[in-house]
Amino acid sequence: MIRAPHQLLGLGLVVGLAACPAAGADLRDLYFGEALYQAYQGQYFDALERLDTELAQYHGLDQPALDTLHYHINDAEFSVGDFELNYRMHQRAGRAIKAVLEGAVDESVRNEAAFRLARIQFQKDQLDDAMESLSRIKGTVPEEIKDDVEFLRANIEMATGKPSEAVKVLKQLRSDTSLGGFASYNLGIALLQDGRPQDAIEQLDKAGRLAAVDEAGLAIRDKSNLVLGTMLFEAANFDRAKESLDRVSLEGPFSNQALLRAGWAEATAEQYDRALVPWNILAEREPTDVAVQEAMLAVPHAYAGLKLYGRAAVMYGRALELFSKQIEKVDASIGSITEGRFLKALMREEARQDKDWVIRLRSLPDAPETYYLMELMASHDFQTALQNYLDLEDLKAKLTAWKTSIDAFDDIIRLREQNYEPLLPGVDTKFRELDSRIRLRQEQRKHIGERLQAMLTAPRPEYLATAEERIAGERISQIEKQLGNSNSPDALALRQRAARLRGTLTWRLETEYHERLTAAYAHLKELNVDVDALTRQYDAFVRTRQAATHSYAGYDAQIERLRSRVGDSLQRVDVVIAQQGRMIETVAINQLEARRDRLVAQQTQARYAVADSYDRAVRAQSGAEKP
């Protein structure tokens, strides 16, 4: 298939699919609806393939305005870009947007394309390019992206070390409800980067008190409170730090860090008994979490602070045990990854079916390689790599299935050829005979039609004589010829009779001419119905005959080319999937080794602290025993 030109694809990036989905009732092009149906299920490959084909066909038409896709052409072109991005094909999407920017499109369309290009460039760390793309936005900006443009500008300013510029932009946006707490939080961070810690604290305090309506809003509020709490703690403002940390949801994703820091806020103020409250909650949580592992050391530290050295020694002992177990787990994970089980775990079918599969992977008893997966998954690059790996697996499955399909097509073609080849010569011979007869009759009909048409202006009654009349006329002529010029009385009498007969015949032909002409037209009309039926049958036969040949002839080159392309792609997929798998495993192992180093250090720390605590307990006991 010929791919749609990039500029067409690029238009797809201008308006989000979700922003204006085509509704069933309003839909005029079923294939566009089908592409949406696939996309809404997250099947972007199928959606893209369908929509690309439709767009290519549409743009190949002489009169595209007559096609049903014409009613949705903007949506369709907008959607294809979204599908590409969702299918992680940023290069094609990026190239397409650039083509839109250089094309003759409306100002608002170009502005939105520039915005989308800037977002891709920002994401790829091409900050200068991103800013340049934003600078191309001039004139009318679609209302729905106005704030997004400014928000992106602020993020780029922050990333390029211009926090004061970001602050100016974000101040305009903080009241924007559509951006939720994000603008508010980012403003706090920009102020911090701008060297205005006090303003940053006040701003984050506001962000940490915003009402949250969804999970993302709750998460950003929690994060605001966590960052604020940490800043206040670092500023030795322990009470306010604790107040802020207490606002973090106990069930949210930041709760572990918040509990840890809340404990430190208390411990630093030497309120060890109060520090134990959050730390003890934390120590009971998922032991693979970094904060929980730190809490295992923090709890005995607090007991030591309370001079309960015996209790501290016991708790350090527990921590030691936990670290040993966790090191074993990490080792098991590393071993398991080395054996290739990590990738297998990621490919588990039940995992694909479950929307929270990443979270659930950790609880699979027979998948130790996934115990520390959550932190690994926090990396955007790793996430993309993993999704790419899954995409490659899907592509491999498709290509393998296509190989079989191509073989099946070959079979179909071979069988059809075997069936038709012996039959068609006989059919063709018979058809040629029929064809000549049909053509003869069609010529006759045409000739009659022309004659009748001519008779409207130049009447020819003899043309409308019946066969009987024609024979009678010919016989009269014959008689007249036989009589010759004889002047005998008999001959004269016979000539008169012949003249009377001819007169009668002529009289009939002349007087019945109009009636006969009308009847002839009526008969011609009746004939037309039969001729039309014959023509339809003829055309149907020709089509069927052509279809018979087309059903097996002319596919060889295409099938060979497809087979070769599928084979080449399969080879490439095999190579890249192996590289991708190795990369994922390497990254996972590196991550786990870093965790292992940390656990070993904590284990050493706990081991030392156990001994130290026992010493102190003994010293305290002996000190207490001395008078």
Contacts of 347 (CB under 8 A, 6+ apart): 390, 393
Q: How far is the CB of 527 from another protein (least distance, A)?
A: 24
Candidates 61, 88, 335, 414: give the one binding another protein (CB under 8 A).
88
Query: What is the phi/psi pair of residue 366, to 5°?
Result: -100, 25
Count of residues interacting with another protein (CB under 8 A): 164
E strands present in 309-400: none
E strands present in 77-198: none
Candidates 168, 274, 332, 409: give the one binding another protein (CB under 8 A).
409
d(CA 62, CA 241): 70
Does 535 help bind another protein (rule: CB under 8 A)?
Answer: no
Contacts of 607 (CB under 8 A, 6+ apart): 320
> By C-beta, is 376 or 498 nearer to another protein?
376
Residues 446-485, interacting with another protein (CB under 8 A): none
Binding window for another protein (CB under 8 A); candidates: 16-24, 425-433, 481-489, 521-529: 16-24
d(CA 211, CA 209): 6
| Inter-helix orientation angle 107-123/90-102, to 10° | 150
Burial of 531 (0-12, 13-18, 19+ CB in 10 A): middle
Candidates 27, 281, 327, 527: give the one binding another protein (CB under 8 A).
27
Binding window for another protein (CB under 8 A); candidates: 102-110, 452-460, 497-505, 550-558: 550-558
d(CA 293, CA 290): 5
d(CA 290, CA 8): 48
DSSP state of 3: P
Residues 348-367, interacting with another protein (CB under 8 A): 355-359
Binding window for another protein (CB under 8 A); candidates: 85-93, 340-348, 466-474, 488-496: 85-93
Does 5 help bind another protein (rule: CB under 8 A)?
Answer: no
Candidates 335, 434, 608, 618: give the one binding another protein (CB under 8 A).
608
Q: How far is the CB of 127 from another protein (least distance, A)?
A: 9
Burial of 225 (0-12, 13-18, 19+ CB in 10 A): buried
Type of residue found at 560: E
Does 17 help bind another protein (rule: CB under 8 A)?
Answer: yes
> By C-beta, is 209 or 441 nearer to another protein?
209
Residues 254-293, interacting with another protein (CB under 8 A): 254, 256-257, 260-261, 264, 268, 289-291
DSSP state of 356: T
Is the dihedral angle over the CA atoms 343, 346, 347, 348 positive or is it negative? Answer: positive
> By C-beta, is 48 or 337 nearer to another protein?
48
Does 399 help bind another protein (rule: CB under 8 A)?
Answer: yes
Candidates 439, 543, 553, 621: give the one binding another protein (CB under 8 A).
543
Does 219 help bind another protein (rule: CB under 8 A)?
Answer: yes
Type of residue found at 13: L
Q: How far is the CB of 530 from another protein (least distance, A)?
A: 19
Q: How far is the CB of 28 from another protein (least distance, A)?
A: 8
Contacts of 77 (CB under 8 A, 6+ apart): 8, 9, 11, 12, 14, 55
CA dihedral 72, 73, 76, 78 (to 10 degrees): -120
Binding window for another protein (CB under 8 A); candidates: 58-66, 234-242, 491-499, 521-529: 234-242
Residues 35-74, interacting with another protein (CB under 8 A): 36-42, 45, 48-49, 52-53, 56, 68
Binding window for another protein (CB under 8 A); candidates: 112-120, 333-341, 466-474, 505-513: 112-120
Tokens of 101: 């920017």
Q: How far is the CB of 284 from another protein (least distance, A)?
A: 17
> By C-beta, is 405 or 504 nearer to another protein?
405
Q: Which helix (H) or strand (E) holds 199?
A: helix 197-207
Tokens of 23: 């509704």
> By C-beta, is 288 or 336 nearer to another protein?
288
Around Cβ 175, how many Cβ atoms within 10 Å?
9
Q: How far is the CB of 598 from another protein (least distance, A)?
A: 7
Candidates 7, 111, 186, 244: give the one binding another protein (CB under 8 A).
186
Is the dihedral angle over the CA atoms 129, 135, 138, 142 positive or is it negative? Answer: positive
> By C-beta, is 492 or 540 nearer to another protein?
540
Binding window for another protein (CB under 8 A); candidates: 363-371, 374-382, 470-478, 486-494: 374-382
Contacts of 515 (CB under 8 A, 6+ apart): none
Residues 140-169, interacting with another protein (CB under 8 A): 148, 151-152, 154-155, 158-159, 161, 163, 166
> By C-beta, is 147 or 480 nearer to another protein?
147
- Tokens 């979204």, located at residue: 82
Residues 474-533, interacting with another protein (CB under 8 A): none
- Tokens 């039969």, located at residue: 530
CB 552 within 8 A of CB 413: yes
> By C-beta, is 276 or 298 nearer to another protein?
298
Q: How far is the CB of 327 from another protein (least distance, A)?
A: 14
Does 87 help bind another protein (rule: CB under 8 A)?
Answer: yes
Residues 295-314, interacting with another protein (CB under 8 A): 297-298, 301, 304-305, 312
> By C-beta, is 92 or 461 nearer to another protein?
92
> By C-beta, is 25 or 211 nearer to another protein?
25
Does 189 help bind another protein (rule: CB under 8 A)?
Answer: yes
Does 573 help bind another protein (rule: CB under 8 A)?
Answer: yes
Does 213 help bind another protein (rule: CB under 8 A)?
Answer: no
* Helix/strand/coil (H/E/C) assignment for every residue in 42-104: CCHHHHHHHHHHHHHHHHCCCCHHHCHHHHHHHHHHHHHHHHHHHCCCHHHHHHHHHHHHHCC
For residue 464, the SS3 value is helix
Does 24 help bind another protein (rule: CB under 8 A)?
Answer: yes
Measure Cα distances from 624 to 150, 295, 303, 309 in Å. 68, 30, 18, 13
